[in-house]
Amino acid sequence: MALRYIRKIGDPILYKKAKYVDKIDDHVIMILDDMAETMYNADGVGLAANQIGILRRLVVVDVGDGLIELINPEIILEEGEQIGKEGCLSVPNVTGEVKRPKKVRVRYQDRTGEYKELEGEDFLARALSHEIDHLNGILFVNKAIRIINDEEEKMEAE
Catalytic residues: 131
Q: Please, are residues 94 and 141 in contact by the beta-carbon 8 Å criterion?
A: yes
Task: Say which DSSP state 63 is in.
Answer: S
130 marked as binding residue = yes
27 marked as binding residue = no
134 marked as binding residue = yes
Handedness of CA 108, 113, 116, 120 (dihedral sign): negative
- Write the DSSP assignment of 92-105 as a string of letters: EEEEEEEEE-SEEE
How many contiguous H segments (helices) and E segments (strands) does the chain have? 4, 8
Query: How many of the other CB atoms lie within 10 Å of CB of 107?
Result: 15
Q: Which residues are annotated as a binding site?
A: 88, 130, 134
Q: Which residues are annotated as a binding site for Fe cation?
A: 88, 130, 134
